[in-house]
Structure 1
Amino acid sequence: MTTDALFGGRSFAAFLFDMDGTLLTSIEAAERVWSNWAGRHGLDVAAFLPTLHGKRAIDTVRQLALPGVDADAEAEWILQAEIDDVDGVREIGGAAAFLGALPADRWALVTSAPRLLALRRLEAAGLTPPAVFVTADDVAIGKPEPDCYLLAASRLGVVASDCLVFEDAPAGIEAGERAGASVLVIQATHTAPLASSHPGVSHYEGLRVSSDADGRLTVSRDLG
C-alpha cells in the first residue's frame, strides 16, 4: 500500500476539527428545522438554506435583520428544535477511527453549534467529545471570525499557525485561514466540489495519521 503525505509531509502541533459536515453529517436534520423556521418568516427557503452552514444560529438570524424579530428568542427556538431532531445524524466515514488514532491532548473540536446541540449530535453519531471542546457558547463572534480556532489552539497550549484545521464550509475555512492555520477540506457532504485552494478528501477512510517523538502529527492518505 502506497501513501501520499499531505501538506508536503509537514507535521503539526495539533488538529482542530469542525463538527457538522466535517466529523458528522447533520444536514438532513438541520435543513428540516431551518426550512420550517424560514417558511414561518416568509423567506425563500431554497435560496436561504445554502447560506446558513458553518455559522452560529444567532449570527445567521441577526444578519437577516428581519423586522420585529427577536434574534435571541429565535435562536433559542432553533436550538431546541435541532436538539429534538437528530434523525439522520451520522458519522462521516472513518471519522471515529481517525479520531481514535489521535493523542487525546493533540486535538480539539471547534463547532458553531451551542454545546447542548453539539453533545446531542455527537451522541447521535456515536462520537466521543474531546477534552478541548470549543462551541458557539465560548465566543462572542462566530465563524468566519477566527476567534474559535485561536481559542482552541490556546487551550491545547499551541499556536493556531502550527495547527491543521479540518473544515467543510466556506465560513469555517475562512476562520481557519484567518487564524493562520493550514486547512484540509472534508468534502463528504458536498454535492459539488467546493472552490478552494486547500487540499480536500471525501472522508476519513484511507486517511492516516502518524506522530513523531515530540508528538507532532503528520497526515497522509492511501493511494491504493
Structure 2
Amino acid sequence: MSGTDLFPGASFAALLFDMDGTLLSSIEAAERIWSRWAARHGLDVETFLPTIHGKRAVETIAELGLPGVDAVREAHELTLAEMDDMGGIRAIDGAVDFLAGLPGHRWAIVTSAPRPLALRRLAAAGVPVPELLITADDVVNGKPQPDCYLLAASRLGVDIAACLVVEDAPAGIAAGEASGARVLVVAATHREEMATPHPVIGTYAELVVALDGDGVRVHRAPAA
C-alpha cells in the first residue's frame, strides 16, 4: 500500500461517518432555512449560522433560551422545511466511491438529522444508505455528547476505541473525542481553516483504504 498511513499501526474495526458536511453538502439548504428562522426570532443571522452545524436542531434552539419558544415544535417545523428544500444537496467529492470500497458491516452513518431528513438528503446526494444509520431519533443526548457514536459501535458489535469517527463540525468532533474513537476531519465545506489535532482531508480523493484482516487501514493517497 502506497501513501502515508494517517493513523500509523491502526486497523479500524469500523468507520463511523457524520452525514452533513462529511459525506454530503447540505450547507446551502440548511442555511437558507435557518436564516429565515433566525431572522423571524430577531437573531443576528451571520453570528447565529455557524452554531447550527453538527448538532440536533432541538438542542440548538433550546440552548438559545428564547422566551416562549417551544424547541421541540420549532425543530419539527424546521425539519419539515428542510425536507422540502433539497437545492444544492450533493455528495462530497469522492465520498461515494470511497464508501463503495468498504464492507457494509464496517461503516455506519451517525447524523444529527432526524431519520426522514437524513434519508431524503442521502437520496438527493446519491450517497448509499448504510446497513446501520444512527439519527437524531435514536439518542436522548445529541452531539457533542458521545451517545450516538457509542450506540453505533455497540450495534456494529465493535469496540468504540477501535473505530474511526469521520466528522466536519466542532460538535461532532467533540462527540468523537469523548467517545474514545480516533477522529478524521473532513474540511470540504469549511470556509475557514479549523485548528484541530486530528488529520484533515479536503475530499475523499485524498484517501485510500486497505482491508486488513478484520479491519480497515486508512492512508493518504500518494501525490499525483
**TM-score greater than 0.5 by the shorter chain:** yes
Q: Is the contact made by 1:9 and 1:219 (CA closer than 8 Å) also made in structure 2?
A: no
- Mapped to 2, the partners of 1:208 and 1:9 lie a distance apart of 15
Q: 1:9 Cα shift?
A: 3.8
Does 2:151 match 1:128?
no
Aligned length: 223
- Mapped to 2, the partners of 1:204 and 1:108 lie a distance apart of 16
- Mapped to 2, the partners of 1:127 and 1:56 lie a distance apart of 21
- Mapped to 1, the partners of 2:91 and 2:33 lie a distance apart of 20
Q: Is the contact made by 1:25 and 1:89 (CA closer than 8 Å) also made in structure 2?
A: yes
Paired residue for 1:157?
Answer: 157
Paired residue for 1:37?
Answer: 37
Paired residue for 2:46?
Answer: 46
Paired residue for 1:81?
Answer: 81
Does 2:212 match 1:195?
no
Describe the superposition over 1:74-109 as per-residue Cα deviations: whole angstroms up to 9, x where unpaired: 011100000000100000000000000000001110
Aligned residue for 1:197, secondary structure, equals coil
Describe the superposition over 1:129-152 as per-residue Cα deviations: whole angstroms up to 9, x where unpaired: 101110000001100000000000
Root mean square deviation of aligned Cα: 1.0
Runs of 4+ that moved beyond 2 A? none
- Mapped to 1, the partners of 2:135 and 2:170 lie a distance apart of 18
Paired residue for 1:222?
Answer: 221
* Residues 200-209 or 85-94, more deviating: 200-209
TM-score of the pair, normalised by structure 2: 0.98
- Mapped to 1, the partners of 2:49 and 2:66 lie a distance apart of 16
- Mapped to 2, the partners of 1:92 and 1:9 lie a distance apart of 27
Paired residue for 1:186?
Answer: 186
- Mapped to 2, the partners of 1:99 and 1:144 lie a distance apart of 25
* Residues 77-86 or 7-16, more deviating: 7-16
Query: What is the identity percentage for the equivalent residue pairs of Structure 1 and Structure 2?
Result: 61
Q: 1:222 Cα shift?
A: 1.5
Q: 1:2 Cα shift?
A: 4.2
Q: 1:206 Cα shift?
A: 3.3
- Mapped to 1, the partners of 2:41 and 2:32 lie a distance apart of 15
Give the gaps of 5 or more residues in structure 1.
Answer: none
Aligned residue for 1:220, secondary structure, equals strand
Q: 1:71 Cα shift?
A: 1.1
**Within 5 A, what are the aligned runs for 1:84-123?**
84-123=84-123
Q: 1:193 Cα shift?
A: 1.2
